[in-house]
Amino acid sequence: MPAEVTDATFADEVLTSEVPVLVDFWAPWCPPCLKLNPILEALAEEYGDRLRFVKLNSDDNPRTTLAYHVQSMPTLAVFRKGEVIGRLVGMRAKFTLRNELDEILSSSS
């Protein structure tokens, strides 16, 4: 299950991570965000130690949301060594999301 991060924990949990991290920028009022939850949970299990999954409630953590120019929900940003290496906006099917994540991870290794 993806861990929750906040403005206060973002740097330690995401930017300094030894493994790539997918950050789910979401909001409780966003229906596509809620539909994406079970897909992200399943993919987190599939990827195991290759990709860490975390969630950031954009309403409660505006500093990080603004810093990464998140304007639409859900936004998924993949970080490696403190840098955004991929960004996906909107709801996706599990198969599509897995393919896009594989491409992001392989093209920027």
Which one of the listed residues 7, 9, 27, 30 is annotated catalytic?
30
**Cβ atoms of residues 21 and 54 within 8 Å:** yes
Which one of the listed residues 5, 22, 33, 104 is annotated catalytic?
33
H-only helix segments in the chain: 10, 31-47, 62-67, 94-107
Is residue 30 flagged as an active site residue?
yes
* DSSP-assigned beta bridge partners for residue 3: 54
* DSSP-assigned beta bridge partners for residue 84: 79
Handedness of CA 8, 87, 99, 28 (dihedral sign): positive
Where in the sequence numbering do the catalytic residues fall? Answer: 30, 33
